[in-house]
Amino acid sequence: MRASQSGGSPHCRICSVINEEPNASHPNPVEDVQHILTACVGTAKIRETILPKIETAVGLSKSSVDFSSIKNSPHTLTQFLLDCTSLNLSNSLRVNFGDPNLKNIFTEARHYINAVHLERIRKLSEIEKKRKNG
């Protein structure tokens, strides 16, 4: 929406730079919350580093959560990262509100989202500097 209001592109600015020649298998994706948290190539290292920590925290919970199913669905992973107790998640993918490890899961998810945010700011800043310097 912001792109349409300002005359810009709705596509991910980081992926657009990395995928200089998009093709059918790697089109430039729309920059939305789901893409930013689960698929942006610019934050792949964050996912590789921090998602295992979230998976470990989930594994230590009393709730029977199928984290492999969560990781396989970008939509579900996005919802889980934003609120792992959400009623939008099915019972097998949701952490019970009374789970004693809930705070740790929320903490790891918050760290993940913050790390993604900081990495995107850094990469977008680099892209802007390169654009200005030619």
The more confident residue out of 56 and 14 is 56
**pLDDT attached to residue 75:** 97
pLDDT tens-digit map of 75-122: 999 999 999 999 999 999 999 999 999 999 999 999 999 999 999 999
What percentage of the chain exceeds 90 in pLDDT? 69
The more confident residue out of 132 and 78 is 78
Give the pLDDT mean for 41-69: 94
Write the DSSP symbol of residue 42. Answer: G
CB 123 within 8 A of CB 14: yes
* pLDDT > 50? residue 24: no
Tokens of 67: 């984290």
pLDDT-based confidence at 133, cuts 50/70/90?
confident
**pLDDT attached to residue 16:** 80
Which parts of the chain fold into alpha helices (H)? Answer: 2-6, 13-18, 33-38, 44-59, 67-71, 74-82, 102-133
Distance CA 125, CA 20 (A): 18
**81 CB contacts (<8 Å, ≥6 apart)?**
37, 54, 109, 112, 113
* pLDDT > 80? residue 47: yes
- Mean pLDDT score of the chain: 88
Q: Would you say the C-alpha torsion 45, 31, 21, 134 has a positive or negative sign?
A: negative
**pLDDT attached to residue 130:** 86
